Amino acid sequence: MFTGIDEVDWASMEHAYGPADDVPGLLYGLASADAAERESALDGMYGAVHHQGDVYACTLACIPFLFELAVDPGIRDRGGVVELLTSIGGIDLDVDDESELDELDEDEIEGVANYAMAAAAVSAGSAVFFELVADDDPGVRHAAPLALATLHDRPERVLTLLRERLPVEADDEVRLALVEAAGRIALRHRPLSGQAADWLSRLAAEAHPPGLRLAALAQLARCAPDALPGDVVRVVSGLLRELRSRPFRAESATAKASGGDETVSDRATAPALVGQLRELSAEEPAGRSTPWAADLLRTLHSGLDDRVDDRTALLTDQLSSPDPWQRLDAVRMSGGLMRAWRGSYDGLVRLVGAQLADPEPRLAEAASHVLEELFGLAVPAADALARRVAADPAAWVKEWASGPPGLGSAVKALSRLGDARALPALAAALDRPEVPHDVGFAIRCLGGAAAPLAGALRRRLGEVGLDEGAYDRASPLLAGLTALRAGEAAPEVLRVLRGAPEYRGEWLRTAALRALGSFGPAAGCAVPELRGLIRRHGSAATEAAEALWAVTGDAEAVLPVLAEGLRAQQVHDCRAAASALGGLGRRAEVVAPRLRALLSHEELWLRVDAAIALWEVSGRTSEAVPVLLAAWERNRHVRVRVAECLARMGLAAAGSDAAQVLRAELLAVRRHNAMDGGYGSHDTYEDEKLLALCRRTLLEDTGKGTTS
């Protein structure tokens, strides 16, 4: 085995973690008789040699040896090797033409060349996968169809093979992989999409087992959504009920491949797409009768795309299932739907909230995480959240192996609703030796309802030692006091401002200055300190000037400082000065020329801040609005900031172009900040805020009888 492996100069190559001289050991590990050693070797291949999909010279050198492993019937767990080959050779390059290649640097060009060579090398050997679809090892048969659909250059031949193979294949999971491979061909080879869709439609409609029909519907949603049945929700809901009543055979393809007596990798236990996350989460329940159903449903939801009503109805049915694992999947998918798409979700949220009382802890925890991200959309689940918080004080604060403690998900979700029933949990958190890092944000969400906590915040801030750990201990307290505008705590905040240590001292002073500014005239004791700070340079002077303005209203003292801030070298400092100047209004009109000059700055966010400030200090919209609307179209993440300004202006001043932009935003179904493959914890909140601003501005315009 591995003829010529010692002739490869592995030491001259590198992988993700350094020299590749350990690669032969990984290859031999894949051939080991020991299951644990095989598992470790495959993890090493993905972790270093094919790290996050990268292809190195050593990855290319491995390809012939991986093929040798894949076709050797004496090797166990060969399905994982076939999947690895599929991943190495199946990368679609994003570089479409020579002009794009010209823009790449040397390392990027090398990477593109490696991907191209890997695709060519694996595709050249892909004919062996035709034999492997009938291999004795079910794990190999499970991986081979997707390898063919991804790599072989005769997709019409592959599609014919899939259709011929399905009636004679006995393993249920392998049959699902055959169906998924047809969907992959339809996506990669559009001329064949009609043939693939016709076959998938027949599979979905005929008297096949429910899992197979569900798989066919999921692939139709991916490659030919128009071919889905009109009553797809009813059909899928019926199939899920059948799955609950007709348990899938527990012996999976990969378990049978290893004889059922070894620890088997989770990689191939579901027909997940090659290149996606390869391992199930460690928290997943092991006793599911249909562990692949969640993947099929996620694929179906992805294909349904903007059909929000259908997806909501399907999730409503899933959340009403007696099967807790179907409900767990539905909770997670509900979170994904609501994060990315706008819709009417009261009923769905209420059902997610109902899972908080489920005895399965993973289900309740998943529900609380989803509700935490919804902010105001979680109102229908408020009572369920309150009951959950009251019933489980031990979950009010979550400890971490490293880093500061944080509030539990249910407490955060309830706080983000502004619900005073979160107060006991927050009060208890403030009594802990180490205050959770996110207490201040929770208090800000509660607003005035959190006023009873001001005394505890002030007391704890007074106890903070001004050493190197001061910022971590003081910042959540300062954030809470800022949110409450608790001016009675000005002496304690001033102590922190004066005694900030060198380590993270700049951050701590910024937090203290924001708190003092929020107190307004109640922070009069800090005025001498603030007047001294504005004599400094840079961001510290700008922050002190902004606080001094809030406390004293002394425009004459702060205007020169803020005007000088517009000349700062750092964009962040310049933006801070522009925003602060806007707060002075017409008193700062003298800086209008400087703000106007920034409207053409290369940094988009600075252009936006300068345009807003220019309007605030001059009252003129003719120069500001075009800049704001251009930024709106160019960078979706700036839209909330722009919409806030347009709301203050009013459409009578902003004009008809602004009205048109706001109306178009309200017609969009996808959230403005939705991302493929990732999301932020505040995305839903920001998008709902944007929608509220658009509606309010347009409604006020209508109420005034303005035509725009």
Q: Which amino acid is at 403?
A: G
Which pLDDT band, with edges at 50, 70 and 90, does 598 fall under?
very high
Which pLDDT band, with edges at 50, 70 and 90, does 545 fall under?
very high
pLDDT higher than 70, residue 270: no
* The model's pTM: 0.83
Name 246's Cβ contacts closer than 8 Å, sequence gap at least 6: 209, 210
Q: Beta-carbon neighbour count of residue 248 at 10 Å?
A: 19
pLDDT of residue 274: 33
Q: Which segments of 390-470 are extended strands (E)?
A: 397-398, 406-407
Q: What is the mean pLDDT of residues 188-205?
A: 95
Q: Residue 589 and residue 530: Cα distance in Å, rounded?
A: 23
Name 179's Cβ contacts closer than 8 Å, sequence gap at least 6: 162, 166, 200, 203, 212, 215, 216, 219, 271
Flag the least confident range among 127-141, 159-173, 203-217, 528-542. 528-542
Which pLDDT band, with edges at 50, 70 and 90, does 81 fall under?
very high
Q: Residue 508 and residue 65: Cα distance in Å, rounded?
A: 57
Give the residue among 368, 369, 425 at the shortest CA–CA distance from 393.
Answer: 425
pLDDT higher than 60, residue 272: no
Give the residue among 474, 446, 472 at the shortest CA–CA distance from 460.
Answer: 474
pLDDT higher than 70, residue 285: no
pLDDT higher than 60, residue 667: yes
Which pLDDT band, with edges at 50, 70 and 90, does 129 fall under?
very high
536 close to 502: Cβ distance less than 8 angstroms: no
Q: Residue 674 and residue 561: Cα distance in Å, rounded?
A: 39
Per this entry, what is the length of the chain? 708
Which pLDDT band, with edges at 50, 70 and 90, does 251 fall under?
very low
pLDDT higher than 60, residue 291: yes
274 close to 87: Cβ distance less than 8 angstroms: yes
pLDDT of residue 262: 34
pLDDT higher than 60, residue 178: yes
The pLDDT tens digits of the residues spanning 491-520 come to 999 999 999 999 999 999 999 999 999 999
pLDDT of residue 538: 73
Flag the least confident range among 12-26, 234-248, 309-323. 234-248
pLDDT higher than 60, residue 265: no
pLDDT higher than 90, residue 255: no
pLDDT of residue 248: 44
Residue 149 to residues 180, 192, 202, 208, Cα–Cα distance (Å): 9, 12, 20, 23
Residue carrying the six token digits 């969009």: 668
Give the residue among 482, 346, 356 at the shortest CA–CA distance from 410.
Answer: 356
Give the residue among 95, 123, 89, 120 at the shortest CA–CA distance from 109.
Answer: 95
Q: What value does the mean pLDDT of the chain take?
A: 90
Q: Residue 449 and residue 544: Cα distance in Å, rounded?
A: 29
Q: Is 14 helix (H, G, I), strand (E, B) or coil?
A: strand
Give the residue among 31, 231, 270 at the shortest CA–CA distance from 146.
Answer: 270
Q: Residue 493 and residue 516: Cα distance in Å, rounded?
A: 7
Q: What angle do CA 532, 537, 540 make, to 5 degrees?
A: 70
Which pLDDT band, with edges at 50, 70 and 90, does 244 fall under?
confident
Residue carrying the six token digits 């908080």: 356
pLDDT higher than 50, residue 318: yes
pLDDT of residue 267: 35
DSSP state for residue 227 in the 8-state scheme: G
Q: Residue 223 and residue 226: Cα distance in Å, rounded?
A: 9
Give the residue among 366, 358, 223 at the shortest CA–CA distance from 304.
Answer: 223
340 close to 670: Cβ distance less than 8 angstroms: yes
pLDDT of residue 704: 64
Give the residue among 535, 540, 486 at the shortest CA–CA distance from 508.
Answer: 540
Buried b / exposed e along 110-142 (16+ C-beta atoms within 10 A): ebbebbebbbebbeebbeebbebbebebbbbbb
Structure tokens at 60: 């290319």
pLDDT of residue 295: 87
Per the model's pLDDT, the better-predicted residue between 100 and 21 turns out to be: 21
pLDDT of residue 246: 63
pLDDT higher than 50, residue 584: yes
The pLDDT tens digits of the residues spanning 618-665 come to 999 999 999 999 999 999 999 999 999 999 999 999 999 999 999 999
pLDDT higher than 80, residue 206: yes
pLDDT higher than 50, residue 266: no
pLDDT of residue 386: 98
Flag the least confident range among 89-93, 295-299, 362-366, 566-570. 89-93
Per the model's pLDDT, the better-predicted residue between 450 and 262 turns out to be: 450
pLDDT higher than 90, residue 271: no
